[in-house]
Amino acid sequence: MTPVKSNESSQPKPILILACGALAHDIIQLQKLNNWNHLHLKCLDAELHNKPQLIAGKLRTAIRHHKSQYENIFVAYADCGSGGQIDRLLEEEGIERLPGAHCYSFFAGEDRFQKIAEQELGTFYLTDFLVKHFDRIMIKGLKLDLYPELRDQFFGNYTRLVYLSQEVDMDLLDQAKRAAAMLGLSFEHQPCGYGDLQVGLELQVLKFR
């Protein structure tokens, strides 16, 4: 008699997620919620937010370092102010990324973000990560702690701060309101959840399972 073959499904293929450090917490939360144990996360420094011209080069180094170890790689960045450099790199490497121009648009979703942006052109955006690290990245990163007079040079053309939140957290909401007051901007809260970050990861999981 021919032995009956095991009906166990094969393990899903590992996927390397190369992400902005600002998304690390959110991706880890999604991994836990969905039991995506085969998603392996490597992050670049979140402070590249302030130096977008360096992102593509850092991604190139990371991709080439890990490409021999992973058949499937996905980049959790939008364009992020790189001026198309990230897209040119990923086209060369045959790798996909999250949609949109920046994390604000993929958290909110492209259509919703466009509506928010069109309401008031001079809008500055924060996410949960940027609220938590506002002092380190925005105040100290832009040296506003040493030169507070630079505030108007950096933010003089903004009139509104919109907080695109991922989680329901009253402490973060209060911090976001204080950040708006510190920058002299009006405040608006738009709860978004994980938006297209979650959708993008789900598509990769389905594609490579």
For 173, other C-beta atoms within 10 Å of its C-beta total 16
What is residue 100's DSSP assignment? S
Which neighbouring-strand residues pair with 16? 40, 73
Enumerate the CATH 3.40.50 domain ranges in the chain, comma separated: 15-103+194-207
Per-residue pLDDT tens over the stretch 58-106: 999 999 999 999 999 999 999 999 999 999 999 999 999 998 898 899 9
In the numeric block, which tokens belong to residue 80? 């992020």
Q: Is the pLDDT of residue 4 over 60?
A: no
Residue range 15-103+194-207 forms a domain whose CATH class is alpha beta
Question: Across the chain, what does the average pLDDT equal?
Answer: 92
